[in-house]
Amino acid sequence: MSLTVTVIDHWEDTKRLHITGVLTPSGNYVTGGDVIPFGIPQIKSNSMPSMLLVTVFCPDGTVTYTFTAVAGTTIANCKLKVIVTATPGVELAQAAYPAPLIAHPPAFYAIFPKHI
What pLDDT does residue 26 have? 92
Whether 14 has a pLDDT exceeding 70, the answer reads: yes
What pLDDT does residue 1 have? 55
Per-residue confidence band for 18, with pLDDT thresholds at 50, 70 and 90: very high
What pLDDT does residue 70 have? 86
Per-residue confidence band for 61, with pLDDT thresholds at 50, 70 and 90: confident
Burial 13-28 (b: 16+ CB within 10 A, else e): eeebbebebebebeee
Domains in the chain, please, with CATH? 3-113 (2.60.40.3940)
Per-residue confidence band for 95, with pLDDT thresholds at 50, 70 and 90: very high
- 3-class SS at 36? coil
Over residues 80-95, mean pLDDT:
87
Q: How far apart are CA 46 and CA 116, in angstroms?
A: 6
Per-residue confidence band for 93, with pLDDT thresholds at 50, 70 and 90: very high
